[in-house]
Amino acid sequence: MATADLLTASHTLELAAPLPLDGGQDLAGVQVAYETVGTLNADKSNAVLVFHALTMDQHIVSPHPKTGKPGWWARSVGPGNVIDTDRFFVICANVLGSCMGSTGPASLASDGQPYAMRFPVITIRDMVRAQVALLDALGIDQLHAVVGGSMGGMQALSFAANWPQRTRAALVIASTARHSAQNIAFHEVGRQAIMADPKWNGGDYYGALSNGGKGPENGLAVARMAAHITYLSEEGMHEKFGRKLQDRPDGTKGAKTFGFDADFQIESYLRHQGLSFTDRFDANSYLYITRAMDYFDLAEEHGGKLAQAFAGSNARFCLVSFDTDWLYPTAESRTIAHALNASGAAVSFVELSAPFGHDSFLLDVPALDRVIKGFLG
């Protein structure tokens, strides 16, 4: 990874102008934290903008500063890799509303205090708008491609629909053009879990944190646990965990304890997922980003017709779904493909078989690698 590291750089841009938001406000002093990998060519034609998912960030290749884990897409982005940074200049920006350097509810407002719940509710299009401003600042008129999985796919769709001249291609993986009632329901459970935590305190917990106290970690962990179930397939969970019992730290073989410890491995796994998440993520950001996803409805933005959303685009599209993804099942991608067909766009659509459910877009799925490589050309 030495070569990749040399080509990887972290930046933060403060937008020169206030960012107009779908909610009607103009947000001043917006910071956009982003990572670039590779080299922008002379005519600035080789840039690929990768949008991250709900709980990820700009650290697409570089290790996460809090966990030390490899960048979330280090397996796919790099020299000679599926997204080949010997050829492409890859940009990944922390989304507006998040907590890894871009402006969000934990950022300081003009009064010097964290926004907390004074932060405006944002949309997926607002997130994209901030990244278009980043492209403007970088002097990149047109991207080689936009790429994104899950919420990243929503941003890719929003980008292609609302800034159709700014990209020649859009790759949308395991995503949807609008959140279903069930999607909203799971997010609402997570939000209520956070808000039910007394340490959430109406969103004002940053003071407690800076004094060594705690925020709504318990609520956030429960939110993460509920969401995590939706990221895995029932089959994958059965294969990996089934009803296997957890061995004890003292070496005791797994057994039913007739108590409320994590007897089953799946319980232990979920608890770990919940707890480790709270070390790296801000609870208010979780509220705002899930809200943006729930509000997302690309057709609604365009007169109720999804095909209309893509009317101005000449981009090539590629849609990928996974057969075991029940969060954004194949039918969601098919709906987008039909709309793109109706709008006369160049679109390819493939459902891949992979056992990992929604998380497949982040994992070792060779067929996905081939699709990405083939589509980016």
Q: Do 367 and 373 touch, CB atoms closer than 8 A?
A: no
Which of these, 226, 269, 225, 229, lies nearest to 245 by C-alpha position? 269
179 binds a second copy (CB under 8 A): yes
User: Tokens at residue 192, please?
Assistant: 């209520």
264 forms part of the interface with a second copy (CB under 8 A):
yes
DSSP states along 304-342: T-HHHHTTT---EEEEEEETT-SSS-HHHHHHHHHHHHH
From 76, 98, 150, 158, the catalytic residue? 150
Largest CA distance in the chain: 67
8 Å CB contact between 153 and 172: yes
Active site residue 150: yes
Query: Of the candidates 35, 57, 197, 325, which one interacts with a second copy according to CB under 8 A?
Result: 197
Least Å distance between CB 297 and a second copy?
6
Q: Which tokens in the block code for residue 249? A: 């730290």
Q: Are 323 and 351 in contact (CB under 8 A)?
A: yes
Q: Min. distance of Cβ 32 from a second copy in angstroms?
A: 21
Sketch the per residue contact string, 321 through 340, with a second copy: x for CB under 8 A, - otherwise. Answer: -----x--------------
Phi, psi for 10 (deg, rounded to 5): -105, 140
Q: Are 13 and 137 in contact (CB under 8 A)?
A: yes
Q: How far is the CB of 277 from a second copy (least distance, A)?
A: 13
DSSP class per residue in 124-150: HHHHHHHHHHHHHHHT--SBSEEEEET
Residues 216 and 200: beta-carbon distance below 8 Å: yes
Binding characters for a second copy, 267-306, by CB under 8 A (x = yes):
x--xx--x------------x---x--xx-x--x------
Closest CA to 352 of 363, 336, 365, 334: 365
Return the range that interacts with a second copy (CB under 8 A); candidates 96-104, 134-142, 178-186, 364-372.
178-186
8 A C-beta contact, residue 95 and residue 289 = yes
Interface region with a second copy, contact rule CB under 8 A, candidates 79-87, 103-111, 167-175, 182-190: 182-190
349 is a site residue for a second copy (CB under 8 A):
no
Q: Has 325 been annotated as catalytic?
A: yes
C-beta closer to a second copy: residue 192 or 308: 192
Q: Is 212 in the site for a second copy (CB under 8 A)?
A: no
Binding mask 124-163 for a second copy (x = CB under 8 A): ----------------------------------------
What residues contact 109, with CB distance under 8 A and at least 6 apart? 115, 118
Contact region with a second copy (CB under 8 A), list: 34-42, 128-136, 167-175, 190-198: 190-198
Nearer to a second copy, 57 or 294 (CB): 294
Which CB, 248 or 370, lies closer to a second copy? 248
Residue 18 found at the interface with a second copy (CB under 8 A):
no
